Amino acid sequence: MRKPLIAGNWKLHNTVEESCQLAQALVTDLNDVTETEIVIAPVFTSLSDVGKICAGTTVQLAAQNCHCMDDGAYTGEVSVPLLANVGCSHIIVGHSERRQYFGETDHFINVKARAIIKHGLTAIICVGETLEQRESGELFEVIATQVRGALEEISPEQMSQVVLAYEPVWAIGTGKTASSEEAEEVHAYIRGLLHGSYGAEIAAQCRILYGGSVKPGNISELMAEDDIDGALVGGASLKADDFAAIVRYKKTLKMAAT
Ligand code: PEP
């Protein structure tokens, strides 16, 4: 049984004070939630203070990015050990905004994911196609390349420290959510890739989140799909009430197609 995971990506928003207020509201609001894992990813400058607020609560801390080296002459970068030191248990890598604006490749994402795993943290690895790729019939090829590239040299034992997030680029911050059927089709495909590389047990255990304009109004339908195990939420994670409502999504059974 995969435990649902709802993660909030705060992107480049919020001062330290605003981050702390939001985090405080969430830890208070969600202190009774045990059936779903909750993760929030503030900006780097807020991590230390938000980490103190999250310590010992049901809300876990994530960074939005990291560098692959532990220390050294890498101006402007932040390492996994330093992120662990301020309380991070998870790190997001491969977000489409990093691929698009910072030229991150599957290889670089893989190197970072391995650094995260080496230090005992969980990597939330994002994959997803652009609208152009989907429309030109490259969807599955793009997803396979990104998933295989990101998981290169990650052993079966290490897969318990990996969460995948399928985020169609055309659905991020656009208000356009993939339909639950469209999302499920790709999630099932990704699980098939995991089955091929790691076998049935690991494929069945690995959580695959959906991301792209998730809101309180569409989370239940998405979560009713067999292979959708949670969500990576951008915009709606900046409002405590919306994020809390997403975490407390109503469990529904998928209606049988007629
Ligand atoms: C994201 O940033 O990962 C994301 C899915 O954003 P949004 O929910 O705003 O589409």
The best mutation among 95, 96, 167, 169 to test binding of ligand 1, ranked by most ligand atoms within 8 Å of the C-beta, falls on 167
pLDDT digits (tens, 9 = 90+) for 94-153: 999 999 999 999 999 999 999 999 999 999 999 999 999 999 999 999 999 999 999 999
Q: What percentage of the chain's residues is helix, strand, coil (to nearest 5)?
A: 45, 15, 40
CA of 212 to the centre of ligand 1 (A): 5
Tokens of 164: 């995948």
Q: Got the DSSP string for 114-156?
A: HHHHHTT-EEEEEE---HHHHHTT-HHHHHHHHHHHHTTT--T
How do the domains of the chain map onto residue ranges? 5-247
pLDDT digits (tens, 9 = 90+) for 35-92: 999 999 999 999 999 999 999 999 999 999 999 999 999 999 999 999 999 999 999 9
Catalytic residue IDs = 95, 167
- CATH for 5-247 is 3.20.20.70
pLDDT digits (tens, 9 = 90+) for 182-208: 999 999 999 999 999 999 999 999 999
pLDDT, residue 258, reads 44
**Cα-flanking dihedrals φ and ψ of residue 88, to 5°?**
-75, 135
Distance CA 11, CA 238 (A): 9
pTM of the complete model: 0.96
Looking up tokens 């639950």 gives 180
The answer to whether 162 and 191 have CB atoms below 8 angstroms apart is: no
Tokens of 36: 């779903």
How many helices (H) and strands (E) the chain has is answered by: 11, 8
Q: What is the largest CA-CA distance in the chain?
A: 61
Residue with CA at minimum distance from ligand 1 atom 7 = 234
CA of 73 to the centre of ligand 1 (A): 32
Task: Assess whether pLDDT exceeds 80 at residue 256.
Answer: no
